[in-house]
Amino acid sequence: MSPTLRRTISSHLFLSLFSIIMVYPILWWVGAAFKSNEEMSSPSLFPTQWLWSNFTEGWVALPKYTFTHFYMNTFELIFGLLITSVISCSLVAFGFARLDFPLKNMWFSILMVTLMLPNQVTMVPQYIMFNVFGWVNSYLPFYVPHALAGGIGGTFFIFLLVQFIRAIPKELDESAKMDGCTWFGIYWRIIMPLTKPALVTVTIYCFLWNWDDFFGQLLYINSVDKYTVGLALKLFVDSQSALPWGQLLAMSFLSIVPALILFFLAQRHFVDGIASGAVKG
């Protein structure tokens, strides 16, 4: 056996073993979603009896509300954030990439510096401000920052779109101006269609990051009627002393299904958007 082949086999064996170690908790989680409470402490990966009832009973386990209600709340919140974030971030990116205004480079540099600002630094003043506005226990603390090109990942989205828009030839803008197109018309009719790969990347990131934003939702949403799926899972712990682990794990597994579906369906566009932004920038 040649040294090259030996190294290849050794590296593949190591990577396979490491992958099994990394995937094992996920496999245990999936198997535990079908277990009874009595089997939960069993070292076996999969249950002796598959309890599909954990999914049906877990869906309606919480008093007054089913997970249908919580999913509707979550999609209402996320889709609103997607629309506001994509439009606002693309508008700001178009301004930095195409328009000339005083101190543009300075403002863009300040914007980039905010990438290094931890979210924990702004959390308390934001909460105090939104509480003064009377927005706590509503979705406004999420909608308004995203509508102003803020929110989770706003600066990164702007940077990604700026790099992409700068690679589009400015001759297209000049031709559109000669045809009587305004700056907003150039943005809407020319730039937006040409930045589709980057916009898809922004949409995927925005969906995944806001879908997983448990702490932000916990901070601003107090009413169970407005709870998202992530917050609803917390109610299993608060509802009763005998925690139904199988139902909790079953619902937590279902909570990641939309994110998994979106990622696998849009994975090609996601990679294209990142690669195009990196090369063209």
Separate counts of helices (H) and strands (E) for the chain: 16, 0
Question: Are residue 25 and residue 163 in the same domain, yes or no?
Answer: no
pLDDT in tens, 89-134: 999 999 999 999 999 999 999 999 988 888 888 889 999 999 999 9
Question: Are residue 86 and residue 9 in the same domain, yes or no?
Answer: no
User: How many domains does the chain fold into?
Assistant: 2
pLDDT in tens, 32-87: 999 888 888 777 888 888 889 999 999 998 888 999 999 999 999 999 999 999 99
Domain that holds residue 109: 59-280
Question: Are residue 92 and residue 148 in the same domain, yes or no?
Answer: yes
Predicted TM-score (pTM) of this structure: 0.85
Amino acid at 242: A
Best CA proximity match to 142, nearest among 211, 96, 201: 211
Rounded CA-CA distance 209/219 in Å is: 16
pLDDT of residue 281: 43
pLDDT in tens, 146-164: 998 878 888 999 999 998 9
**pLDDT band at residue 278 under the 50/70/90 scheme:** very low
Question: Are residue 121 and residue 166 in the same domain, yes or no?
Answer: yes
DSSP structure class, residue 7: H
On the 0-12 / 13-18 / 19+ scale of CB atoms within 10 A, 36 is: middle
**Residue 109 sits in a domain of what CATH number?**
1.10.3720.10
